[in-house]
Structure 1
Amino acid sequence: MNAAPTLEMLDPTTLIVDINVRKDAALTPEFIASIKEHGVIEPVIAHRNEDGTVHVRMGQRRTLGAVEAQCPLIPVMITASAEDAERIVSQVVENIQRAAMTEADEADAYHQLSLIGVSAAAIAKKTGRKKAAVEGALKAKASEAGTAALGKGLTIEDALVMAEFEGDEEATAELESVIQDEPDQLLHVAQQLRDERARAAAVAAYTAEVAATGKTIVERPGYDDEETANVTSLKRADGEPATEDDANAVYIIQDYRGEFSTVPVIVGWKELGFTERYNYHSSSANKGPMTEEQKAERKTLIANNKAMESATTVRREFVKSLLAKKQAPKGWQYFTVHAITHHTDVARTYDGEVAAEMVSAKIDGQKSWGWNPLKDHVAKSTALPEFSLIALVCAGYEKTIAKDSWRSPFQSHRDYLNQLVTWGYTPSEVEQIIIDSGKPAEEKAA
């Protein structure tokens, strides 16, 4: 039975590094400077011979960099034999290639390798997996919620979502319910929770900022509110319009750009001697509180608009992952030509930044008139032009879809979403409203 690896702090100058590795190591000034500042964070893997010498098996570049940076000690994981670390990696590769191996087993194998100092990049190289996938598995295993999710048979991707919301009991309960009842909606619900959390944090931060000025913050008054009214809708006892100086509170609003501001109001305006500046309630149609039906409609409107904003993030990430593959999706030729000929605004009004993000292009410069990072990307690279064309068309469609497009869907919206579904996208419930709003136009062969 092999002894468990042990972690030791050793002088890098005493370690034996293979001569060929020493020759090929890329010891850049930046790499050495990083080690000088941070030290060697990931342990190198080595074994100790009978004569006491320690031979590096993995992490030769880090060892040589530590020598150049004059680090006195670095972490070294000592394995039982020269072949021990390689044996572990070989076993993992063999197990991963077995069809019966679950994602939980795969994540556990990566975790075991990480414990003996093998980096995510090295694991990815040895196993043929993408580095991001390995990092995701390790991140899931580093969380109790993620580990528990893997133990229940969830995928690494699902476990990562559970790990992200660890400690949030309400969000965790909702996610578990979705996994149980509507697993294909997990990404959408998770994004909605992220957005809601971000909104709450932004509101809390701005609220604290306003409160620090000494202002009283109240809820936004409804149109039937008889206690609180906007300053602009009131007049003083002398008949003059009320001003901000008369306000005794404010409420917070957020505009379409996500920016916050305050609106001055007067609480208890009747008792304070103010009257309505405009006769809002002269029409009987506007009198009285909202009906239950009106409240339900308002609630649905707000919920669906928020859901559409979250769906936009998920949808664009799907397109980005689609265009990260080696080959363009099947049917891209007709998709693009149909868009250009049937929905002409798509090619003329697309957002270059959104399109560039979809093809993972480098985005330089600042937003200004004529700034178009997709155009810059195409000018610099002649590789895979079809990917840029698909991104251009998708970005054009994206620009036509607003958060309330579910209320009055266009044929272009249906065509776009239906194509994404054909390519494997799972629409959110609010996007499904758009898809179900009408049948796509008949597509005739060119």
Structure 2
Amino acid sequence: MNTNATPQAAAAAAEQITLVQIDPATAVVGLNVRSEANLTADFVSSIRELGVLEPVIGHYDAQGRFVILRGQRRALAAVEAKRPSIPAVIVQQPEDADRIVHQMAENDHRSAMTTADRIAGVKQLAAFGLTAAQIKRRTARPRTEVDAALTIAGSELAQKAAQRWDFLTLDQAVALAEFEADPDAVKDLMVAAKDGHGFDHTAQRLRDARLDATAIAAMTETLTAKGVRVVERPAYDDHSTRTLDRLAATEGGRAYNKATHATCDGHAAYLSVTTAWEKDEKGKEVRLRKAEPHYVCTTWRAAGHVDLWNHGGASSKPKAADMSPEQREAARAERRDVVDSNKAWDSAEPVRRDWLAAFASRKTAPKGSSAFLARVLTEHPEVVASVGGSQLAAEWFGLKHTGYGYGSGWTALIEKATEGRAQVIALCRLLASLETGTDRQSWRRVMPATADYLTFITANGYDLSDVEKRAAGLTKPKPARRARTKPAAPAAPATHAPEASIDTPDPEPTPGSEDASDAPTDAGAATPAA
């Protein structure tokens, strides 16, 4: 190797590189070791907006055509983007063996941009004064991606996590930024991200817990201002507290309510959180979580109240006093399972519906869709007979819901749809009906239609939560049995995980938290006769 080359010689060598502009539509795409160009919509959009920034490399053949050796993907994207010309470097025609070696080396050593790279790029563009809209246009990246990168750029913790852990996606880093003030939440999210499943469900449970805490705090403040004492939800075997709907001044009398019982020294309330889907100001269904008070008396015996339920007939449940310690713990375990599973189902619902909305944007239905449609139509006719899910399906396709079972725009949507897209529309309309047919009862026993539905979306990329796996019949946890039968083993107590760290994700699971769904029952009391 000559290390004493003069500047003149180096310049002469540089002049041998010829850069030209070629028409990508007339160029010949040469043989390539890559079997597919994989032209994504984002890549074509980038070429359309910015052009080909890195010249393709090729040579002219005997017919005077430019043969592309390296950069076939850029050239094909330029044709699809209707770019009139692209830059190209002319080289000597290589031997076939040399061509293959060069192409393999180029593809082997090409490294895609990481999440941290994209965040840094968007952050620098914003520092130069570009708005999110301008960054989207200049980079040809989706607005959601730009907004996510800007959110992460504002969080030191999320930025460091993205730089430290290459398995983090933009959406996951955004969630870290959302919960950066909560170390335990960050830890749970990092564990889910590292495990590769359950991240969306973990994030939603954390959001629900935060919403619940806010709602409960607001309702507590409201009740306290009215002079109502707020207490913890009574335990399973707590006989010192009764709800007002079962208490009266005399046997056979009318049950107390919050107004008639307000002057009692034991007057109090415990709080629960309920979930409901309601329409917002734009007519779109949104999920709301509300704190509701359940009024009780904590001194009902001392106050001389009568428990109406103890005089309404025999109970189908044994009294807590007649249970062994193991039986009482089994009853508590069963109740904890109901509470935790109800809450888990509520948190899974918005995650599942977000996934379904994205699924509805497909151009073609996935493999196995025809068999799934046939199975639902023949084995679950009750789903077909129901018009449930019409509003949900209309939202997925951007249509206006005009009434029960109807939605304007379906005809136009179907008429302009391709054969594949029409199948997606039919499939998603059926999925919407199946989705709206699920509720808190779905996990308690396996229903064939729900099981088929959850199994289908799982096969197409949806990440089932643990409670959804129970509804799909994919897991069979040992049920907590009633006290009259052989007691089930007590559930393991929940424990709080240690403080989170983005440097050392810990595989410990996120502990469950108490749901406030249904009013408590008392195993020691009889229920009114029907």
C-alpha change, 1:405 and 1:240, in structure 2 (3 Å) is closer
C-alpha change, 1:158 and 1:239, in structure 2 (3 Å) is closer
User: Does the Cα contact within 8 Å between 1:320 and 1:358 map onto a contact in 2?
Assistant: yes
Per the alignment, residue 174 of structure 1 pairs with 188
User: Does the Cα contact within 8 Å between 1:308 and 1:404 map onto a contact in 2?
Assistant: no
How many angstroms apart in 2 are the aligned matches of 1:412 and 1:238? 47
C-alpha change, 1:434 and 1:262, in structure 2 (3 Å) is closer
Per the alignment, residue 18 of structure 1 pairs with none
Per the alignment, residue 226 of structure 1 pairs with 239
1:364: Cα distance to partner? 5.5
User: Does the Cα contact within 8 Å between 1:417 and 1:435 map onto a contact in 2?
Assistant: yes
User: Does the Cα contact within 8 Å between 2:250 and 2:306 map onto a contact in 1?
Assistant: yes
- Aligned pairs for 1:186-201 within 5 A: 186-201=199-214
TM-score by length of 1: 0.67
Higher helix share: 1
User: Does the Cα contact within 8 Å between 2:236 and 2:332 map onto a contact in 1?
Assistant: no
Per the alignment, residue 446 of structure 2 pairs with 409
How many angstroms apart in 2 are the aligned matches of 1:110 and 1:131? 11
Q: Are residues 1:106 and 2:123 paired? A: no
1:394: Cα distance to partner? 0.8
User: Does the Cα contact within 8 Å between 1:179 and 1:186 map onto a contact in 2?
Assistant: yes
1:104-150 CA distances to partner (integer Å, 9 max, x unpaired)? Answer: 11221122112112333333334332221222122222212221221
Per the alignment, residue 310 of structure 2 pairs with 279
1:2-53 CA distances to partner (integer Å, 9 max, x unpaired)? Answer: xxxxxxxxxxxxxxxxxxxxxxxxxxxxxxxxxxxxxxxxxxxxxxxxxxxx
- Aligned pairs for 1:44-443 within 5 A: 99-152=111-164, 153=166, 154-180=168-194, 182-222=195-235, 224-236=237-249, 240-241=253-254, 243-244=256-257, 245-246=260-261, 247=264, 248-254=267-273, 257=276, 260-279=291-310, 285-288=318-321, 291-349=328-386, 350-359=388-397, 361-363=398-400, 370=404, 372=406, 375-381=407-413, 382-384=415-417, 385-437=422-474
Partner SS, residue 285 of structure 1: coil
C-alpha change, 1:363 and 1:140, in structure 2 (3 Å) is farther
**2:120 counterpart letter in structure 1:** D
Unaligned ranges ≥5, structure 2: 1-108, 277-288, 477-530
C-alpha change, 1:138 and 1:263, in structure 2 (3 Å) is closer
1:322: Cα distance to partner? 1.9
How many angstroms apart in 2 are the aligned matches of 1:434 and 1:278? 34
How many angstroms apart in 1 are the aligned matches of 2:451 and 2:250? 56
How many angstroms apart in 2 are the aligned matches of 1:123 and 1:136? 12
Per the alignment, residue 486 of structure 2 pairs with none
Identity of aligned residues (%): 30
C-alpha change, 1:99 and 1:329, in structure 2 (3 Å) is farther
Aligned residues: 336
1:191: Cα distance to partner? 1.0
Partner SS, residue 416 of structure 2: coil
1:220-277 CA distances to partner (integer Å, 9 max, x unpaired)? Answer: 3345323222234334379855634234223334556455543432222222233433
C-alpha change, 1:131 and 1:266, in structure 2 (3 Å) is closer
1:390: Cα distance to partner? 2.1
**2:227 counterpart letter in structure 1:** G
User: Does the Cα contact within 8 Å between 1:308 and 1:430 map onto a contact in 2?
Assistant: yes
What's the C-alpha RMSD, in Å, of the aligned pairs?
Answer: 3.0
How many angstroms apart in 1 are the aligned matches of 2:474 and 2:227? 49
User: Does the Cα contact within 8 Å between 1:241 and 1:277 map onto a contact in 2?
Assistant: no
**1:356 counterpart letter in structure 2:** A
Partner SS, residue 249 of structure 1: strand
C-alpha change, 1:206 and 1:101, in structure 2 (3 Å) is same
C-alpha change, 1:265 and 1:311, in structure 2 (3 Å) is closer
User: Does the Cα contact within 8 Å between 1:218 and 1:249 map onto a contact in 2?
Assistant: yes
User: Does the Cα contact within 8 Å between 2:241 and 2:296 map onto a contact in 1?
Assistant: yes
**2:205 counterpart letter in structure 1:** Q
User: Does the Cα contact within 8 Å between 1:227 and 1:268 map onto a contact in 2?
Assistant: yes
User: Does the Cα contact within 8 Å between 1:229 and 1:267 map onto a contact in 2?
Assistant: yes
Query: Which moved further from structure 2: 124-133 or 238-247?
Result: 238-247
How many angstroms apart in 1 are the aligned matches of 2:275 and 2:123? 44
Structure with more relative contact order (C-alpha pairs < 8 Å, separation 6 or more): 2
How many angstroms apart in 1 are the aligned matches of 2:224 and 2:147? 42
How many angstroms apart in 2 are the aligned matches of 1:239 and 1:411? 45
Partner SS, residue 279 of structure 1: helix
User: Does the Cα contact within 8 Å between 2:189 and 2:203 map onto a contact in 1?
Assistant: yes
TM-score by length of 2: 0.57
How many angstroms apart in 1 are the aligned matches of 2:375 and 2:331? 40
1:344: Cα distance to partner? 1.8
How many angstroms apart in 2 are the aligned matches of 1:255 and 1:299? 17
How many angstroms apart in 1 are the aligned matches of 2:238 and 2:179? 38
1:405-425 CA distances to partner (integer Å, 9 max, x unpaired)? Answer: 122111222221221122111
C-alpha change, 1:276 and 1:223, in structure 2 (3 Å) is farther
Per the alignment, residue 57 of structure 1 pairs with none
C-alpha change, 1:263 and 1:336, in structure 2 (3 Å) is same
